[in-house]
A = this chain, B = another copy of it.
Amino acid sequence: MSTINKAATQVDATIIANKRIGAYHQIILSVGEAVRHCRPGNFIAIQVGGDSSRMVLRRAFAISRTSETAQFGGTVELIVAPHGSGSRWLCAQSEGVEVNVVTPLGKAFGIPVEPANALLIGGGYGSAPLFGLADVLKSRGCKVDMILGASNGSKIYAPMEGKRSVNSLKIFTEDGSMGESGRVTSQLSQIVAERDIEIIYSCGPMAMLKAITEIADQLGVMHQASVEESMACGIGICMTCVLPVKDEDGAISMLRSCIDGPVMDGSKVCWDLVGKSTESF
């Protein structure tokens, strides 16, 4: 047996709940046993559009939180932005509808073996996987601070229950409509220093991940970034989702963000080369 996708299963999952929260939809899917293998940072790939759909590819969403109850069995929660036709279709489905899913996929966030001071940074719906991560980190004795950012307040996803596990939560919006006005990186150096941060976890737009990497590298702080590249398959067979990543010797390879990520070592990703002609490597 292969070691790739080894926890993944393909099941028909029922939509248990679908609720609008600001600019997003919180969607809860009953996925059964699969939930036991879902770790923060993993994602789910969902078939969209129904039987006679012209959309041939799955859509990938980060798993926000998981739970197991007697009534619904294992469930996963997603935070979905209605973006194009597939995500809009998903957001328009009502409770009871079945969708075919493959999960868990991708590499999860690495958890420190010893308790550490962790800073979690989320941009837009990028905060989704961070609350589940915060729970795990806290249960391992870590101190967890969090920074969330978005263009405006409706795009900040920060549920009440989620805040339980975080020591502090700072919010930035570009238009100042919630929290402070600015970006997640605005006070990053200070916060890292003040709070003695040892590891940064981030999830959000590529430009944000890149900016965080620069600061983290400067400060010498570890940084695990969950990247988001266009994915056709989500399971490693198509080579569309690649990113240039350096290995120990500095050699660059195009790694698949679906199976070698989405969580990657921020300092290894060649952010400047993303989307560039590979001849320049």
Binding site for B on A (CB under 8 A): 48-55, 85-86, 89
Flag if B51 contacts A52 (CB, 8 Å).
no
A53 vs B48: C-alpha distance when bound (angstroms): 11
Cβ contacts A to B, 14 pairs, < 8 Å:
A48-B52, A49-B52, A50-B50, A51-B85, A51-B89, A52-B53, A52-B54, A52-B55, A52-B85, A52-B86, A52-B89, A53-B53, A53-B54, A54-B54
A245 vs B49: C-alpha distance when bound (angstroms): 43
A9 nearest CB across to chain B (Å): 26
Residues in B whose Cβ lies below 8 Å from that of A50: 50
A52 vs B55: C-alpha distance when bound (angstroms): 7
Residues in B whose Cβ lies below 8 Å from that of A86: 52
Residues in B whose Cβ lies below 8 Å from that of A85: 51-52
A57 nearest CB across to chain B (Å): 12
Residue of B nearest to A56 (CB): B54
A96 nearest CB across to chain B (Å): 12
A199 nearest CB across to chain B (Å): 41
A50 vs B52: C-alpha distance when bound (angstroms): 9
Residue of A49, A50, A52, A55 contacting most chain B CB atoms (<10 Å): A52
Residues in B whose Cβ lies below 8 Å from that of A89: 51-52
A88 nearest CB across to chain B (Å): 8
Residues in B whose Cβ lies below 8 Å from that of A51: 85, 89
Residues in B whose Cβ lies below 8 Å from that of A55: 52
A113 nearest CB across to chain B (Å): 46
A266 vs B54: C-alpha distance when bound (angstroms): 40
A50 vs B53: C-alpha distance when bound (angstroms): 9
Residues in B whose Cβ lies below 8 Å from that of A49: 52
Residue of B nearest to A51 (CB): B85
Residue of B nearest to A86 (CB): B52
Residues in B whose Cβ lies below 8 Å from that of A52: 48-49, 53-55, 85-86, 89
Residue of B nearest to A49 (CB): B52
A87 nearest CB across to chain B (Å): 11
Residues in B whose Cβ lies below 8 Å from that of A54: 52-54
Residue of B nearest to A89 (CB): B52
Residue of A48, A53, A86 contacting most chain B CB atoms (<10 Å): A53
A50 vs B89: C-alpha distance when bound (angstroms): 10
